[in-house]
């Protein structure tokens, strides 16, 4: 039976909370692999998890899913044999007979100190056995074709030649819940991804302004949430807010340069109300310091002032090229650049203020019954979208 060795990485450093972090990770793994549960057996310890794969046909699918789960540092496909040097040598030869490589290196670790052969001696014995029995192989201590690792644990000798680096981070859900303002551009999906990496379970809020924003814009956002779904909690919601009436009212303010500032303040106020309703603990945005007019220190301060909840900005010190690189790595980039505009990009004034003042923003808001429209929009203009068990989108007025 082949076994996948899952290494926890950062989770092992959590001290008294270590057990909680590991339990959350294993729960997430079981949910993500639930369609294969009849072919998998789990066995955990404090530093790693063994997943025994009964049906070898599903191995590749299982590995691909595991590589998208935050909290996993690395994976290896291992063979576990009895702690007997003859059994170890036999298994090593069977592995090398399938590899057809030219050079190798042996590493070993003796976690079970009752095993009579110490690590340096075990490496020498195994390497000598390989050289005697397989012609054409050489030892290369610096850049080997095969790195063979033998770990002696209480339940057997673990033998593997691969170590697949995974996403690391923390298991989703362990640090709380967040609401991500998902615009459909490049930045906000990356901010969502980075927040997931730090253990937040995320729902999404998207603002539409029909007829100015087309249905294709919403479809793009739904596609982005589906891409992020492989990293997210097993269930999440996409909240869609029709902002058209509010936007029309914003056109009546006496200082047009503040329009994007007031729009962002409205987004944050509505997000606060929604967070309280769904018990989310923080708001996530894709803002990067100095990238546009609404992302200066003064703008961020003026926008923050309307929030009762912390606002996380994972990209605050990223430049655009760094954000694009991450978006390409997580496969959101090609969807994000589709030419369907969102509410923000369509209604940016020609000369937006870069140093808005809180007091002046409040004065402008008083001209248009700002809080009344916040309440009206929140109560009447938000619908909840979710993915059902068949993988289809459903919606209801929220």
CA-nearest of 242, 180, 238, 237 to 207 is 242
CA-nearest of 148, 112, 152 to 129 is 148
pLDDT tens figures, 304-324: 999 999 999 999 999 999 999
* Residue 47 confidence (pLDDT): 83
CATH number for 176-397 (one of 3.40.50.620, 1.10.10.10, 3.40.50.970, 2.40.50.140): it is 3.40.50.620
The angle, 0 to 180 degrees and rounded to 10, between the axes of the packed helices 59-66 and 18-32 is 130
Rounded to whole angstroms, how far apart are CA atoms 127 and 139? 8
- Domain boundaries defined on the chain: 2-165, 176-397
DSSP letter, residue 347: S
CA-nearest of 265, 269, 285, 294 to 183 is 285
User: What fold is seen in the domain 2-165?
Assistant: VC0802-like (3.30.2130)
* Residue 322 confidence (pLDDT): 97
* Residue 343 confidence (pLDDT): 59
138-139/282-284 β-pairing: unpaired
* Residue 312 confidence (pLDDT): 98
Q: State yes or no: cis peptide before 313, omega within 30 of 0.
A: no
| Tokens, residue 63 | 């590995």
Rounded to whole angstroms, how far apart are CA atoms 84 and 97? 20
Cα dihedral 384, 388, 394, 397 in deg (nearest 10): -30
Rounded to whole angstroms, how far apart are CA atoms 295 and 245? 25
DSSP for 173-234, please give it: TSSEEEEEE--SSSHHHHHHHHHHHBTEEEEEEEEE-TTTS-HHHHHHHHHHHHHHHTTS-S
* Residue 341 confidence (pLDDT): 64
Q: Are 26 and 42 in contact (CB under 8 A)?
A: yes
| Backbone CA torsion sign across 149, 153, 158, 162 | negative
Q: What is the pTM of this model?
A: 0.92
* Residue 346 confidence (pLDDT): 58
* Residue 9 confidence (pLDDT): 84
Distance of CA 66 to the CA centre of its chain: 12
CA-nearest of 116, 97, 104, 95 to 158 is 95
| Tokens, residue 68 | 């998208």
Same CATH topology for 2-165 and 176-397?
A: no
CA-nearest of 233, 230, 126 to 177 is 233
Exposed e or buried b for every residue in 84-101, given b needs 16+ CB within 10 A?
A: ebeebbebbeebbeeeee
Q: Spell out, as residue ranges, where the chain has pLDDT lower than 70.
A: 341-347, 397-398
């Amino acid at each position: 039976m082949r076994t996948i060795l899952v290494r926890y990485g950062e989770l092992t450093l959590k001290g008294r909370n270590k057990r909680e972090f590991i339990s959350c990770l294993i729960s997430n793994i079981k949910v993500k692999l639930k369609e294969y549960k009849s072919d998998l057996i789990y066995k955990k310890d404090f530093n790693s998890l063994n997943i025994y794969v009964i049906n070898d046909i599903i191995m590749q699918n299982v590995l691909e899913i595991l590589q998208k789960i935050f909290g996993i540092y690395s994976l290896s496909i291992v063979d576990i044999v009895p702690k007997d040097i003859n059994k170890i040598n036999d298994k090593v030869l069977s592995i090398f007979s399938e590899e057809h490589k030219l050079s190798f290196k042996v590493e070993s670790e003796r976690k079970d100190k009752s095993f009579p052969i110490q690590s340096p001696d075990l490496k020498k014995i195994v390497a000598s056995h390989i050289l005697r029995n397989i012609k054409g192989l050489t030892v290369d201590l610096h850049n080997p074709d095969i790195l063979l690792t033998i770990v002696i644990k209480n339940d057997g000798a673990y033998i593997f030649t691969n170590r697949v680096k995974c996403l690391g981070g923390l298991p989703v859900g362990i640090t709380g819940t967040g609401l991500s303002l998902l615009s459909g551009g490049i930045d906000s999906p990356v901010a969502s991804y980075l927040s997931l990496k730090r253990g937040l379970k995320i729902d999404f809020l998207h603002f539409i302004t029909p007829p100015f924003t087309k249905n294709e814009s919403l479809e793009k956002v739904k596609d982005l949430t589906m891409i992020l779904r492989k990293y997210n909690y097993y269930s999440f919601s996409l909240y869609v807010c029709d902002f058209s009436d509010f936007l029309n009212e914003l056109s009546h303010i006496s200082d047009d340069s503040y329009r994007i500032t007031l729009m962002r303040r409205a987004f944050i106020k509505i997000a606060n109300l929604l967070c309280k309703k769904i018990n989310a603990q923080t708001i996530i945005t894709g803002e990067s310091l100095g990238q546009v007019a609404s992302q200066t220190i003064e703008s961020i301060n003026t926008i923050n002032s309307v929030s009762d909840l912390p606002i996380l900005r994972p990209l605050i010190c990223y430049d655009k090229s760094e954000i694009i690189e991450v978006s390409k790595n997580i496969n959101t980039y090609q969807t994000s650049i589709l030419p369907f505009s969102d509410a923000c990009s369509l209604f940016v004034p020609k000369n937006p203020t870069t140093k808005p003042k809180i007091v002046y923003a409040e004065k402008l808001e008083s001209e248009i019954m700002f809080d009344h429209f916040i309440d009206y929009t929140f109560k009447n203009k938000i619908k909840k979208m979710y993915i059902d068990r068949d993988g289809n989108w459903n919606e209801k007025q929220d």
